[in-house]
Each structure stands twice: as C-alpha cells, then as structure tokens.
Amino acid sequence: MNVLSDNFAEFREGFLKTVELTAYSGLLALLLGTLIAAFRVSPVPALRAFGTAWVTLLRNTPLVLLFLTVTLGLPALGLKGWDDFWLAVLALGSYTSAFICEAVRSGINTVPVGQAEAARSIGMTFSQTLGQVVLPQAVRTAIPPIGSLMIALAKNTAIASGFNVGELASVQKGLNSDQGYNIYVIFLWIALCYLVITFAISGLFRLLENRLAVVR
C-alpha cells in the first residue's frame, strides 16, 4: 500500500490524464467513425472510395506507427505547436474511428431496406433518411461493439506514455527509475486503475444498451 499512499498524487494525475485522453479520443472516434460510415453507404462513389480507403488503411496500420506518423509527420508538414496530448488524441481517435465505422455500418445494414426506400419515396434526401430514419435504429445495434471498442481504446492509451504524455502507464517510469519501488507492485496498482476505467466504460454502455432496449 505504501507505493500508492506515498505517490498518490502521481497515480491520481496519471489516472485523470488517462480518463481525459480516453474521453477526448473516444469522442473524436465516434464523430469520425459515424461520418466515415455515412461515406461508406453514400450514393456518391468518391465518398464511398474515401471511406473504404480510410478504414482499410487505419485498420491495417499498427497504432505505434500511426503515433509516429502524427508526432513526426505533422511537424514535418509545417503543422507545429500541437501539444503532445492532442497529438495522442488525434492518433487514438483516428485509429479507433475505423473500427467504430464498421460497427456503425454493421448496424446500418440491420435496418430493413424498405424503411430507407419509404423515406426516399416521400421526398427525404439521403442525409435526412440516414440521420432521421436509419442511424437512430442502427445505433441500438451498434452499442455493444462500440462499448468493446471504447474499452480497447482506454487500454490503447498506454501507448501514449512513449510519446511524452503523462498518463497511467508513464507513472511506472518515474517510480521505478527514481525511487526504486518494486516494479511488480507498481504494475499491479496501474492495472487496477485501468480496471476501474474499463469497468466504468462497460457499465456505462450496458446502461445505454438497457435504456435503448426499453425504447424498442
């Protein structure tokens, strides 16, 4: 217990930074993923091609390589001045958006085609049909896989510790190198912190799933 009590401020700061990183990255992933899913079912060939390329590229790119591309590539293109935290949000959110896209698209495919045809027959545009008829139903089906993806995102934030972001995984570096604590005890407390975060995400999405199930 002395590892936690003696260094509670460091653990608290790392825990809060991980929660913050997960929240911002998750929000970006949800927005981008839903947009790319709309592109993938769009009647416009160029948008479908862009959506397919986005998903194919990001789903088959290692996350560490994406971090390197963002942290080294953006400054090389002249986009300097970004904080390391927001670069990590961009990398994590973009990576996860490809998986969110496929979860949302799978939900869209569960909506009967007749509903979209009926919406178009009364003069609704594609965006109106998607936003008002298809997506509200698709989201209910997509909630369980999205919840799993958010849990994976929370664990993936550990990679940000290698890119100067002071989240949970970075706590062990300072404690182990500066103060000589037992590394196994440090990792145990860090693992418990991640467990709290993932349990909270799981409970939130289970609640959403139950609430939407009542609406059905």
What does the angle CA 33 – CA 82 – CA 69 come to, to the nearest 5 degrees?
60
Q: Which of 24-38, 122-136, 171-185 has the highest mean pLDDT?
A: 24-38
pLDDT tens, 163-180? Answer: 878 777 777 766 665 566
Torsion over CA: 79, 81, 82, 85 (sign): positive
- What span, in angstroms and rounded, lies between the C-alpha atoms of 204 and 150? 11
> Which two tokens mark 101?
């896209």
- What span, in angstroms and rounded, lies between the C-alpha atoms of 176 and 41? 50
pLDDT tens, 69-102? Answer: 888 887 777 777 678 888 999 999 999 999 999 9
**pLDDT number for residue 216:** 44
